[in-house]
Amino acid sequence: MDKRITIYDLAKTLGVSAGTVSRSLNDHPSISQKTKDRVIFMANELGYKTNKFAVNLSKQKSNTIGVIVPKLNSIFMSTVLAGIEKVANEAGYNLIISQSLESMEKEKLNAKTLYDSGVDALLVSLAYDTTDFVHFANYIKNKIPLIFIDRVHNLPNCSTIIIDNKSAGFEATEHLIAQGCKNLLHISGNLKRNVYSERLKGFQEALAKHNLKFKDANLLESDLAPSSVKEVIAHIKSVDIPIDGLFVANDTFAAHCIKELKKEKYNIPSDIKIIGFNNDPISELVTPALSTINYPGYELGVLAGQSVISHLNGGIDLHPANSITLRHKLIIRESTL
Amino acid sequence: MDKRITIYDLAKTLGVSAGTVSRSLNDHPSISQKTKDRVIFMANELGYKTNKFAVNLSKQKSNTIGVIVPKLNSIFMSTVLAGIEKVANEAGYNLIISQSLESMEKEKLNAKTLYDSGVDALLVSLAYDTTDFVHFANYIKNKIPLIFIDRVHNLPNCSTIIIDNKSAGFEATEHLIAQGCKNLLHISGNLKRNVYSERLKGFQEALAKHNLKFKDANLLESDLAPSSVKEVIAHIKSVDIPIDGLFVANDTFAAHCIKELKKEKYNIPSDIKIIGFNNDPISELVTPALSTINYPGYELGVLAGQSVISHLNGGIDLHPANSITLRHKLIIRESTL
DNA sequence: TTGTATGCGTTATCAT
DNA sequence: ATGATAACGCATACAA
């Protein structure tokens, strides 16, 4: 494999033109089957490899889809990615993955890098603190498909793929109320992100529906980092009327809460009932097993992948809707019984 | 941004040659500062973007690193990836990530695809059932850096980055013995993979050292899928002398074992002590908290990234060793007390 | 059905 | 210090 074989080499040894070789290799209709066979045979014989760089340059396409996620090392995100990768791979696309590490600055950098490297489309789940969106302007201007997943923002001509966080939050809350909780605490993530603000809305609507007044003490905005658990405990202890129900914005943090509350001699679920969010594998392994909302990450990824691919292949979208909403599901386990 | 500005456009408007523009943009020493300034100014003015496709074609490099992992949606692997991504990104490389889904066939496909798409280097963690390695021959032949992570195989001129699984397995086992366990069971993954076979070796050596005989009943090879827990339970129940110590090849499966054993009224740790592997987040959240071996996934990724980068930049390896071994650590929690 | 010629945007090698 | 020009490997519009 010292010298790379090109279509010119093939052309010369076959006594045809480079154009013929190129068209044969691409199964172009205007080439006779006989010629195609000869070309393909010789290509295999000589170990010809198509040079993607040249193809890319010629077509101005990279056959590559960019992905920006907040963090790679979260089970939810990596599950989404697994779904995306499967679909993309089957469709012959490569995935360039980068993480914003929850920082808008890094997200901007990533968006620029991926743009410069010529991705054919971009999938994004927004960072924790992203507030402006000019870094996506180039994509929109140049009609590069841009799709938001999970942590979304409404931009013109961009699809979003989400679940109905508000109604999921509503159901989670109503379940706690149905189990007899009177004084709930919702532990939320950054309320600038749709996923968390929507869940809060659902929480509030459920309270309202059941004539429970929403007070400041019913909400704690958190970064959901394990180390922040102590603030939760402090809040719960400081409150006048004892908290008897906890709706936590994700399972991992909920699991940490359970652990810490148990350490503080709270009994779960008899003292405090807890429900999480995501249905992470961890939710069924903690004690007591954690009630939660199933968030179909893999399906989300698959759908996102399909959406991109269909955007790219012919432009006709299989899912013409601008926004796809997946079905969530309440999962009841011991932590709320 | 209707028409993309090229160096020719810049050259024309500036009244210089394209070569000069190119060199200015790349800060070539043979260009006067004055000219460089003019070029750069005009480039910004006109919104020039370098075309990566053309650069790639010209240089026959993609500035891209390929990664093949068995599964994206495992917390360990995604943590490794997070480390790789960080380093690669800082060095200006993109990451193309694909998953083999634990299948050698898919791994071969991925290896070929990434090769064809012209990655500058490849990082691999092997699939469950990979037995031959011809799909990496092209990389070696063409001197494309090939580095194995975690699930490795010794190939000429390929680095490997691992922990000392044997001594880790030894320590885990010895810890169980020190806690008074007499009849141990090791639940292993596929023994074709170094990580599992090495841990088993450590297990056996520890037994030998403490004059415990290794019998068939002390080992259960498993696919470590949650659904396989019932086989573990069945095995434990079927055994003549009661098992009092369990060394499980990863934390997730260990957590499932704990859950199921508790359901079967085993008391942990008093009836059976359990130790896992990896120090996944889950290990400290289950009840009882799981003893384990810390496997520094993120550092592994960082090191792998650095190794690749240094291979690529200048070829002089920061870590000249052919094989890097990271330090592991025994973490003792309630499950073995 | 096939060949010819040119474009794609940069880099690199000679000249000057 | 700068210009001219040839790669780089493929795709494709136009000819034949």
Least confident of A92-101, A149-158, A326-335, B284-293: A149-158
Among residues B216, B230, B218, B217, the alpha carbon closest in space to that of B177 is found at B218
Residue A81 pLDDT: 96
Predicted structure pTM score = 0.91
Place of tokens 């490795």: B152
The answer to whether A49 contacts chain B (CB < 8 Å) is yes
Residues B203/B170, Cβ–Cβ less than 8 Å: yes
Instruction: Please tell me the distance in Å from A66's CA to the nearest CA on chain B.
Output: 9
Whole-number Å distance, CA A19 to C1' D12?
Answer: 9
**Interchain CB distance below 8 Å, A82 and B62:** no
Residue B79 pLDDT: 96
Measured between beta carbons, which residues in chain A are less than 8 angstroms from residue B85?
Answer: 72, 97-99
Among residues B95, B93, B96, B132, the alpha carbon closest in space to that of B113 is found at B96
The class of domain A165-295+331-336 in CATH terms is alpha beta
Strand D: positions under 7 A of a protein C-beta atom: 1-13
Suggest the residue from B76, B97, B258 to mutate for an interface test with chain A (most A CBs closer than 10 A): B97
Is residue A186 classed as helix, strand or coil in its secondary structure? strand
Residue B320 pLDDT: 54
What the block records as the tokens of B328 is 């592991």
Residue A124 pLDDT: 97
Domain residue ranges of chain A, discontinuous segments joined by + = 7-50, 62-163+297-328, 165-295+331-336
The answer to whether A334 contacts chain B (CB < 8 Å) is no
pLDDT tens for A276-297 read 999 999 999 999 999 999 999 9
B176 CB-near residues (< 8 Å, 6+ apart): B184, B245, B247, B273, B275, B336
Q: Domain A7-50: give its CATH code.
A: 1.10.260.40
The answer to whether A227 contacts chain B (CB < 8 Å) is no
The answer to whether A87 contacts chain B (CB < 8 Å) is no
Q: Would you tell me which residues 155-214 of chain B have a C-beta closer than 8 angstroms to some C-beta of chain A?
A: none
Measured between beta carbons, which residues in chain A are less than 8 angstroms from residue B110?
Answer: 89
* Maximum average pLDDT range among A11-15, A145-149, B34-38: A145-149
The answer to whether B237 contacts chain A (CB < 8 Å) is no
A65 burial type by CB count under 10 A (0-12 exposed, 13-18 middle, 19+ buried): buried
Percent of chain A beyond pLDDT 70? 97
Separation of alpha carbons A155 and B248, rounded Å: 48
Q: Is it the case that residue A1 has pLDDT exceeding 80?
A: no
**One-letter amino acid for residue B183 of the chain:** N
Q: Would you tell me which residues 141-160 of chain A have a C-beta closer than 8 angstroms to some C-beta of chain B?
A: 141-142
Separation of alpha carbons B36 and B25, rounded Å: 7
With CA atoms as reference, the chain B residue closest to A107 would be B89
Q: pLDDT per position in chain B (337 positions), as tens?
A: 446 788 988 998 898 988 899 999 988 888 889 989 999 898 888 888 889 999 998 988 899 999 999 999 999 999 999 999 999 999 999 999 999 999 999 999 999 999 988 899 999 999 988 999 999 998 988 888 999 999 999 888 889 999 999 999 999 999 999 999 999 999 999 999 999 999 999 999 999 999 999 999 999 999 999 999 999 999 999 988 999 999 999 999 999 999 999 999 999 999 999 999 999 999 999 999 999 999 999 999 999 999 999 888 765 555 555 789 999 999 999 999 9
Subset of residues 27-66 in chain A with CB less than 7 angstroms from any atom in strand C: 29-32, 34-35, 54, 57-58, 60
pLDDT tens for A226-277 read 999 999 999 999 998 999 999 999 999 999 999 999 999 999 999 999 999 9
Separation of alpha carbons B123 and B160, rounded Å: 10
The answer to whether A68 contacts chain B (CB < 8 Å) is no
A62-163+297-328 CATH fold: Rossmann fold (3.40.50)
Q: Which residue has the higher pLDDT, A143 or A227?
A: A227
Query: Inter-axis angle of helices A297-312 and A75-90, to 10 degrees?
Result: 30
Whole-number Å distance, CA B32 to C1' D2?
Answer: 10
CA A308 to chain centroid, in Å, comes to: 13
Q: Is it the case that residue A3 has pLDDT exceeding 90?
A: no
* Domain A62-163+297-328 matches domain A165-295+331-336 at the CATH topology level: yes
Sign, Cα dihedral of B233, B284, A258, A178: negative
Is residue B98 classed as helix, strand or coil in its secondary structure? strand
Instruction: Please tell me the distance in Å from B109's CA to the nearest CA on chain A.
Output: 10
Residues B228/B222, Cβ–Cβ less than 8 Å: yes
Measured between beta carbons, which residues in chain B are less than 8 angstroms from residue A268?
Answer: none
Strand pairing report for A292-294 and A329-331: antiparallel
Separation of alpha carbons A110 and B241, rounded Å: 58
Instruction: Please tell me the distance in Å from B68's CA to the nearest CA on chain A.
Output: 11
Separation of alpha carbons A234 and A236, rounded Å: 5
**Interchain CB distance below 8 Å, A73 and B64:** no
